[in-house]
Structure 1
Amino acid sequence: MATATSDRKSAFTVSNALAAVVVVVAVLWLMPVVWVLAMSFKPNSELMRSTAGFLPIPFTLDNYAGLLSLSATPNWLFNSLIVAVSMTLLTLALASTAGYAFARLEFPGRRILFVFVLAGLMVPEQAVFIPLHALFSSWGYHNTHTALIVPRLAVPMGVFLMTQFFRAVPRDIEEAAELDNAGRLTIFRKIMLPLSYPALTTLGLFTFLYAWNDFLWPLVSATDKEMYTITVGLASIQGNFAETEGLGSVMAAAVFASAPVVLLYLVFQKYIVSGVSMGSSK
């Protein structure tokens, strides 16, 4: 009895120590975020004297008002929404269908093609910028939403994730549906897709974050100011803002660009956790 009690106390102590470490790491990670948020609400006159402190005292909304007063900012935000939403939906459609085909269908060259897809994970995206730029330039697609969306639809990690998820689904479910004369498309649409909601949600969220935060390709493809995404647009004005408006305006631009991503994560965090835990357990 004494040994069991001692073991429980030891386990409790270890769990408390791990929880304390997690809390300390979380606080350290959040400190720069809180600092940026606080500076975005401080007057620039105050920031010229000191940038220390995590409380926005005195408090002002002038930095955000100045940012929103730019006529191009809503257009940049609209471009980012179009690109991120379109890329997310198309990536989910392509990754889910390709993943199901690799996991369940038998066709010549399936293994070789799957290895070829995974080989895309080893190719840095910067290595294909010149061919992509030349290709879309010859088509006359630069400074369009098509040029911002299409090159990012080939996501090998998404195909791998969906393939592994569909392989983990018991075949008994499909066999039962086949006994009811359900076709392959019906099985995929009415059985496999609903089962894969956690994985699709996780992939969709990560794809949206990637598309929203993407900077290098929009910088290369979108040379017209009207076609800037929010990341490129805000970066183009940061130098002027820092010199004329002040550091608080730069911090307000950073918060403005990050807010949709943070809200999206807060809404879908339970799906992320369930998707990651399900994938690790299987």
Structure 2
Amino acid sequence: MSARFKPWDVARAAFCAVMVAAMLLPLLWTLFLSLRPNVDLMRHAPLHPSGPYTLGNYAELFGNRALLRWFLNSLLVSGAQVIGVLALSSLAGYAFGRLRFPGRDWIYGFVLLGLAIPDQSVILTRHHIFSALHWHNSYAALILPGLSAPFGVFLMTETFRALPRGIEDAARLDGASTFGTFWHVLLPQTVPAQASLGIYTFLLSWNDYWWPLISATRPDMYTLTEGMAAAQTNYAEVTGLGVLMAEAVAAGLPVLIVYILFQRHIVRAVTGMVRS
């Protein structure tokens, strides 16, 4: 057997193909159902690949004002958390990775302890804090908890530490200040890591259901995940499974778009981690 067709390579390719199919088939089935008429779905008629197909399920989404409000809420909350996490993690990462100050290692270790604490273990305390502040059913309550990102601080700290000292020393010789060195010299070098962190943060925030379920009790403050879950009680029997699948497809589109836009930076970040 030639070197191009070793048994291990064939087995690895087959395993990868099975894993890809296992991930893609549910998504393709959801898309398939979202394009089928509700009449056929509700009467359990045989679904032939040849059709019929319709865009009526998606047209109904644009007439659902509550759904559009939930969609905008999720965009606002996720976007604000991405901006906040990138800003705070970059500043903290630069401080922990490039600066020297008393207690730096102790503080950094304390921050990393947050990686070992499940979010569910602090949910009751968080609820009491926001209740005392009367911040429930507000964007502040939905956004602020997500700004605590120990993983983001860790990622940016290690990214800044990996940068060569030469570029920083050259900037200092040219008269750059500490913040100027961070903003103009080092921060642009971390764009791939920031893109990966931004995607990760957006994905966590967009799919978050647990905290919005506790904090947002008014329908106008629901995020998309909470709103869709609240609307699914007997939803398939009343409105139609096709509309429900169309909502699922629409909910996944922002994540797909963000990934496509920043795919090049993510590949660079992963490649850099593997090489290091």
Deviations 1:211-242 (A, max 9, x none): 11111111110101101111111111112422
The answer as to whether partners of 1:91 and 1:153 remain within 8 angstroms in 2 is yes
What one-letter code is carried by the residue in structure 2 that aligns with 1:189? W
1:79 to 24, 49, 73: 73
Cα distance change of structure 1 residues 20 and 51 upon mapping to structure 2, 3 Å threshold:
farther
Partner residue, 1:61: 55
Secondary structure of 2:199 counterpart? helix
Cα distance change of structure 1 residues 97 and 153 upon mapping to structure 2, 3 Å threshold:
same
Give the Å deviation of 1:120: 0.4
Residue correspondences, number? 275
CA separation in 1, counterparts of 2:185 and 2:101?
22
Partner residue, 2:106: 112
1:227 to 221, 225, 228: 221
Give the Å deviation of 1:10: 2.0
The answer as to whether partners of 1:39 and 1:56 remain within 8 angstroms in 2 is no
Residues 1:157 and 2:138 aligned together: no
Aligned-residue Cα RMSD (Å) equals: 1.9
Alignment TM-score, normalising by the size of structure 1 = 0.91
What one-letter code is carried by the residue in structure 2 that aligns with 1:237? A
Deviations 1:181-205 (A, max 9, x none): 2111111001111000000111011
What one-letter code is carried by the residue in structure 1 that aligns with 2:3? S
Alignment TM-score, normalising by the size of structure 2 = 0.93
1:193 to 181, 187, 197: 187
Secondary structure of 1:121 counterpart? helix
Partner residue, 1:260: 254
Give the Å deviation of 1:170: 0.9
The answer as to whether partners of 2:42 and 2:237 remain within 8 angstroms in 1 is no
Using the TM superposition, name which of 66-75 and 219-228 deviates more: 66-75
The answer as to whether partners of 1:39 and 1:51 remain within 8 angstroms in 2 is no
Partner residue, 2:210: 216
Deviations 1:141-195 (A, max 9, x none): 1111111000110100000000111111111111111111211111100111100
CA separation in 1, counterparts of 2:177 and 2:64?
54
The answer as to whether partners of 1:36 and 1:251 remain within 8 angstroms in 2 is yes
Secondary structure of 1:112 counterpart? helix
Give the Å deviation of 1:53: 5.4
Deviations 1:95-152 (A, max 9, x none): 0000111111111111111111111011110111111111111111111111100011
Partner residue, 1:3: none
Partner residue, 1:10: 3
Secondary structure of 1:264 counterpart? helix
CA separation in 2, counterparts of 1:196 and 1:131?
35
Identity %: 45
Residues 1:43 and 2:18 aligned together: no
Cα distance change of structure 1 residues 23 and 54 upon mapping to structure 2, 3 Å threshold:
farther
CA separation in 2, counterparts of 1:56 and 1:64?
20
Using the TM superposition, name which of 185-194 and 250-259 deviates more: 250-259
Partner residue, 1:129: 123
Cα distance change of structure 1 residues 240 and 16 upon mapping to structure 2, 3 Å threshold:
same
Cα distance change of structure 1 residues 25 and 48 upon mapping to structure 2, 3 Å threshold:
same
Give the Å deviation of 1:77: 1.1
The answer as to whether partners of 1:86 and 1:149 remain within 8 angstroms in 2 is yes
Unaligned runs of 5+ in 2: none
1:279 to 261, 273, 276: 273
What one-letter code is carried by the residue in structure 2 that aligns with 1:191? V
